[in-house]
Structure 1
Amino acid sequence: MNIFSLFFVSFLLSVVNAKTHTWYFQTTYVNANPDGCKEKQVVGFNNSWPLPVLRVKKGDRVQLYLNNGLPDRNTSLHFHGLFQHGTNQMDGPEMVTQCPIAPNDTMLYNFTVEDQAGTYWYHSHTKTQYGDGMRAAFIIEDEKYPFDFDEEVVLTVSENYHKTTFELMPSFLSRFNPTGAEPIPQNVLFNDSRNVTWNVEPNKTYFVRIINVGMFVSQYLFIEDHEFEVVEVDGVYVEKNTTQTLYITTAQRYGVLIKTKNSTDKNYAFMANMDATMLDVQPPALVTNSTNFMVYNKDKDLPKEYTVDDYNELDDFYLTTLNKTELYDDPDHTITIDVVMDNLDNGVNYAFFNETTYTPPKVPTLATVLSAGDMAANEQIYGSNTHTFVLNYGDTIDIVLNNKDTGKHPFHLHGHTFQLIERHAEVGEKEDPVLYDPSNHAPWPKHPMMRDTVFVEPHAYMVMRFKADNPGVWFFHCHIDWHLEQGLAIVLVEAPDHIQKDSRQALTDNYKQVCKNVGVPSDGNAAANSDDFLNLKGENVQEKNLPAGFTARGIVALVFSAIAAVLGLIAISIYGMAEISNVEERVARDLDIDLTDESSSAVENVREPSEGAVSLK
């Protein structure tokens, strides 16, 4: 057992201050078989996976020491949905608020949960690492809930790939995938497993905290002959709303009450169905509808698969906050951004807000704020490819997001909840995108729904409103991690003068040492220039634009024409005119060329595990 495992065990066994939670975790590779079909390598803590559910109470302090035990990867940690008032450097996204944690290095995440309660989660914010298992629930318990229940249950949903995201990434961000088709998952998971059994008792009310910890697909959730009574979304209490189906995108959370029946003469199916419309291709072998079991009586048969003709899911737009927060005043500043997926000169498909695909700076943006002095209010110093906006303290901000893409996207704002004041309905793929028109829009609600992660429909738009009352550097990005890796993000530098004046925001010695150990400066502009903050020479920039007239379809034709030509020439030169079977495959193998597109090829046959159903806890 390593030293961090010993520390972890000793702290679990010791009596600690009830309001201070100290955890020692080391990231380690673990072999696991989440769907019962194929073993793979995941990222765990202290040689264990899944990661533990962390619980605190409002007002508690967190001291989490994260040691990177991965020999070949950096890491980081984000507490999703937490405001981090005055502790922006603990927010987690690398090169935004912190430096990556190098192998064998340790970072202390030290903050107080001041004024939040509800359902949250924590995950790596390094590349697509949380898609390989580095994620779990983070629960902030309330002293008094505004609803009654008998028992609490935590449920995570996600998708599962039989390869690691590290293995999938080269073929995803590749000129051989010019349309940007996302890798297709093999299964969906319930609490990191499948065919899960939830043993319930009659005449009870269960408070179920549901979190989509996946990195790609949304899911429909429904229970045979039962209903969900929604009472919380993303840590915000809402007026009760009853529905038979929940639609939950990646990173969203729902708190629901589920009331059990008085009879124990039957068991029921708890279904999770992948939103297959998000897949570019749906292989025939892919099982999208996953069956889990709500068990009243262990002596009765387990239920069969349950399907519905029409999901008729809850539209979260119409939820109302329990405290009836009114629509904020008209905006002081409006940020208008258009979602576009397109190719650059290297043939790779990228994601853009307007014409910028997010490219990380050479210094974390928060470190730039703290070292820039009076220049911190100048957006230019944060880099030409980080798409950074400087906001004034106390202003009301509108983010108008026009989705010119044919896919659905869930967007998350760090450090805030926002009001969703308009969301246009889906527009067909063959129709032109409908863009926001400030002079012709739907009436805005008096009491808008508020949460930190919302989705925009294909070819449509949405408008989000929030108050810039939390000084810090906050990431706004698509929470489909494939799309974040393609660059679908902007950065909000909120009240930089307030950040500099707040002594709590000063970079800790540990922070600076983490930067030093990974070889990243902790001061200077986006180009790591600390002498002239307006000199961005040497900054990281995106690839050059394609020559005029090139399209993704043209790139596909060009790529495969080139492959065919190369293979043909090599085949002739090497094998002459001999009759050799499978010559293309042989030559491709010799050249280490993959003729199959990982993202669109049919997945292997998946099967239902026959025994060993996992209990829902």
Structure 2
Amino acid sequence: MSPAIAVLLLLAAFVQSSLAKTVTYNFNLTWVTANPDGLAERQVIGINNQWPLPVIEVDKGDQLVVNMHNGLGDKNASIHFHGMYQNGTNEMDGPSMVTQCPVPPGYDFTYNFTVNQNGTYWYHCHVDYCYPDGYRQALIIHDSDAYFADMYDEDITITVSDWYHEVTDEIGPSFQSIYNPTGAEPLPQSFLFNDTLNSSIPVKPNTTYMLRLINIGAFVGQYFYIDDHELTIVEIDGVYTEPQKADVLYISVAQRYTVLVTTKNSTSQNYCIVTVADSVLLDVIPSNLQLNNTNWLQYNATAAHEQPVIPVSDPTQFDPFDDMTLVPYDHQPLLDTPDHSITVNVNFQILQNGLDYAFLGNITYTKPQVPTLYTVYSAGDLSTNEEIYGEFTHPVVLQHNEVVEIVLNNQDTGTHPFHLHGHNFQMVDRFPSYGPHFYDYKNITPISYDPSNHTAFPASPPRRDTFVVAPGGYWVARFRADNPGVWFFHCHIDWHLSQGLGMLMIEAPDILQTQRDTVPQQHFDTCKAAGIAYEGNAAGNTVNLLDLKGEKKQSTWLPSGFTARGIVALVFSCISAILGMTMIAVYGFLEPVAKQHTVGQVAELTEVMADPKAVDSLQGEGASGAGPSTQVVERYELSE
């Protein structure tokens, strides 16, 4: 690099730092009542007694400070800033028991980091069963240097999501239960657009708008299009792309697209913005569940707001844009031959406790006794030993600057959007790609990646932080381990994460240890308040880190020889047996049914009991198994 260029780069960095500012948000988490779909009021997690939540907006280079107070009273909390790399600030990433302890009710937690990124992101809670309760919203990073900065006139943020009428603390236990042996995900009651329905976005004619599209749902991907308007993709998940035209987008949970849309010259009519839920993800579709929703680009408030005709029963009618064809604007080349390869298979199985779990390989992610980041800090020379992090967190230790390749074979019949914290990754191969036949593979034998037989990798692969794997298909991704930290890799369908569909990438732990002194004391105080250890291995052992006695483990496997059908039959047989025994026990504890009778009626009864035929005829009135005379005596009682 020439001295002149070096001086210019330093000058640019100085100018950027001088323009940067500190943006502070004070969040008090509170329960509030909301009814966004007009069908049912429910409690949601609000901020400062308001819902929908505030959009976080910063400029590239700003310092973002979020002071969070957990005022919920009955629920732990955290914030994950989805897509933020947190380079040098791993402790600000937010997933509970990975990089921090959960923040208990009544306590404060401050997130403080520099935003050296650009694009469209979101924030959400990252503790068990939390963000589907409404704790999620957009995070926008403005960038005046974006290559398309002069190509649009106005910036509009749009979120889509699924919506439930019950709080997750009620849904969760019935979802992961012996009464749900197939692991069928909870069905949403509706699908929202900007946390409401039937809304209009006022637009001006002959104007170009930048639409930031974010799926902040917990489960269901959605198709998106605008009648008679072309979408020009310029960003995915914070990565600028070469402009690409698209008619229909498929947006899985956690994914983002930024598109440019130019309006028409005429204001004679309004145009439908159509979102359609991916019904293939749903085990059943209730008759009252509306899969499609219409909102409008409103050119004229007095003009009709028409409804489109959409056949929604078959999602293969749509031919969505294939994100594998996108080219990053920076043309980052394909990463070199990997130094570290990780191959995992996605599948779901019932364990011996009768519950359905999700697996990467043969491991269902099970939280450790100590947040894994804090294990790194207290591990000394053992930090590079995967054993100390526990078998069931599924840890993989990566060396600094390694090229890492992840091969994900989906042996399940559903789609899975996988997200990697701390990075985006290059998608170098996926089978099948988006298109009408994306779902063809759900009813055939899964196809695994063959490294000796695959299509040519793109010279400059698309990058994003959340990629979807097809039913029965696979994808192959690469990233460079240039960000020391403990990073969660998991399916972003929240129900699947709760079933254990995740694993940990522990990146350059020896370098990461040098950052321990920068962690605020408040983080460790939070652990004390929550009653959680913040030193030691995954079992909380601080004396011998190779002693994992006491670590949390997944349930044991069912005995070999059980088929899937046999497992389901066994579970339902157990359920029937439990219900039957419960009814017998309840009946046994009931007091005998007593009738009041006069002295004359008792005398009549005595005569009846003297006749064996009469007694036999009365036996059916009582419970089986008791003798005739006993039956009658128990059901009569002398009264004054």
Q: Give the match for residue 609 of structure 1.
A: none
Q: Give the match for residue 81 of structure 1.
A: 83
Q: Give the match for residue 146 of structure 1.
A: 147
Instruction: Give aligned pairs, total.
Output: 562
CA contact (8 A) 1:220 1:273 kept: yes
Q: CA deviation at 1:551?
A: 4.0
Q: Among 481, 486, 507, which residue is 2:494 paired with?
A: 481
If asked which structure has higher relative contact order (CA below 8 Å, sep 6+), I would say 1
For 2:221, give the aligned amino acid: S
Q: Give the match for residue 174 of structure 1.
A: 177
Q: Among 301, 318, 341, which residue is 2:325 paired with?
A: 318
Q: Give the match for residue 556 of structure 2.
A: 544
Q: Does 1:467 align with 2:480?
A: yes
CA contact (8 A) 2:179 2:575 kept: no
Q: CA deviation at 1:166?
A: 1.5
CA contact (8 A) 1:178 1:552 kept: no
Which residues in structure 2 correspond to 1:251-400 (within 5 Å)? Answer: 251-307=254-310, 310-400=317-407
Q: Give the match for residue 554 of structure 1.
A: 566
Q: Does 1:225 align with 2:238?
A: no
Q: Among 67, 70, 74, which residue is 2:69 paired with?
A: 67
For 1:160, give the aligned amino acid: W
d(CA) in 2 for partners of 1:556, 1:397: 38
The SS at the match of 2:275 is strand
CA contact (8 A) 1:176 1:556 kept: no
Residues 562 and 375 (structure 1 numbering): CA distance in 2 closer, same or farther, change over 3 Å? closer
d(CA) in 2 for partners of 1:66, 1:528: 27
The SS at the match of 1:385 is helix
Deviations 1:220-261 (A, max 9, x none): 011111111100000000011111111000000000001100
d(CA) in 2 for partners of 1:295, 1:328: 45
Which residues in structure 2 correspond to 1:211-250 (within 5 Å)? Answer: 211-250=214-253
Q: CA deviation at 1:430?
A: 3.2
- What root-mean-square deviation, in Å, do the aligned CA atoms of Structure 1 and Structure 2 show? 1.8
Q: Give the match for residue 454 of structure 1.
A: 467
d(CA) in 2 for partners of 1:306, 1:44: 36
Deviations 1:415-466 (A, max 9, x none): 0011000001145233211011111111100010001000000011100000
Q: Give the match for residue 92 of structure 1.
A: 94
Which residues in structure 2 correspond to 1:114-193 (within 5 Å)? Answer: 114=116, 116-147=117-148, 148-193=151-196
Q: Does 1:534 align with 2:546?
A: yes
Deviations 1:5-46 (A, max 9, x none): xxxxxxxxxxxx971012211111111001111111111111
For 2:90, give the aligned amino acid: N
Q: CA deviation at 1:559?
A: 3.8
d(CA) in 1 for partners of 2:390, 2:473: 29
Q: CA deviation at 1:578?
A: 7.0
Q: CA deviation at 1:277?
A: 0.3
How high is the TM-score relative to the length of structure 1?
Answer: 0.88
Q: Among 433, 451, 454, which residue is 1:438 paired with?
A: 451
CA contact (8 A) 2:178 2:575 kept: no
Q: Does 1:491 align with 2:504?
A: yes
For 1:444, give the aligned amino acid: F
Unaligned 5+ segments in structure 1 are 1-16, 580-617
CA contact (8 A) 2:334 2:460 kept: yes
d(CA) in 2 for partners of 1:518, 1:502: 23
d(CA) in 2 for partners of 1:424, 1:106: 45
For 1:257, give the aligned amino acid: L
The SS at the match of 1:429 is helix
Q: CA deviation at 1:562?
A: 4.1
The SS at the match of 1:83 is coil
Q: CA deviation at 1:564?
A: 4.0
- Greater share of helix residues, 1 or 2? 2
For 1:166, give the aligned amino acid: D
Q: CA deviation at 1:520?
A: 1.0
How high is the TM-score relative to the length of structure 2?
Answer: 0.85
Deviations 1:264-291 (A, max 9, x none): 1111111110000011111222210111
d(CA) in 1 for partners of 2:620, 2:111: 66
Identity %: 51
d(CA) in 2 for partners of 1:306, 1:396: 48
d(CA) in 1 for partners of 2:513, 2:173: 40
Q: CA deviation at 1:577?
A: 6.6
The SS at the match of 2:538 is coil
For 1:356, give the aligned amino acid: I
CA contact (8 A) 1:500 1:506 kept: no
Q: Give the match for residue 588 of structure 1.
A: none
d(CA) in 2 for partners of 1:62, 1:222: 33
CA contact (8 A) 2:441 2:473 kept: no
d(CA) in 1 for partners of 2:219, 2:131: 11
Q: Give the match for residue 638 of structure 2.
A: none
d(CA) in 2 for partners of 1:133, 1:91: 20
Deviations 1:549-590 (A, max 9, x none): 3344334333433444555563786799779xxxxxxxxxxx
For 1:483, give the aligned amino acid: H
Q: Does 1:428 align with 2:441?
A: yes
The SS at the match of 1:270 is strand
The SS at the match of 1:428 is helix
Q: Among 15, 27, 31, which residue is 1:25 paired with?
A: 27
Deviations 1:461-503 (A, max 9, x none): 1000000000111000000000000000010010011111246
Deviates more, 1:570-579 or 1:543-552: 570-579
For 2:447, give the aligned amino acid: V
For 2:109, give the aligned amino acid: M
CA contact (8 A) 1:271 1:306 kept: no
Residues 508 and 244 (structure 1 numbering): CA distance in 2 closer, same or farther, change over 3 Å? same
Residues 281 and 498 (structure 1 numbering): CA distance in 2 closer, same or farther, change over 3 Å? same
Q: Give the match for residue 523 of structure 1.
A: 535
Q: CA deviation at 1:301?
A: 1.1
CA contact (8 A) 1:370 1:506 kept: no
d(CA) in 2 for partners of 1:578, 1:326: 84
CA contact (8 A) 2:358 2:499 kept: yes
The SS at the match of 1:85 is coil
Q: Does 1:204 align with 2:207?
A: yes
Residues 513 and 548 (structure 1 numbering): CA distance in 2 closer, same or farther, change over 3 Å? same
Q: Give the match for residue 587 of structure 1.
A: none
CA contact (8 A) 2:402 2:480 kept: yes
d(CA) in 1 for partners of 2:526, 2:564: 40
The SS at the match of 2:392 is coil
d(CA) in 2 for partners of 1:544, 1:221: 43
Q: CA deviation at 1:145?
A: 2.2
d(CA) in 2 for partners of 1:494, 1:209: 31
Deviations 1:363-390 (A, max 9, x none): 1111011111110000000001000000
CA contact (8 A) 1:23 1:65 kept: yes
For 1:399, give the aligned amino acid: I
d(CA) in 2 for partners of 1:103, 1:565: 40
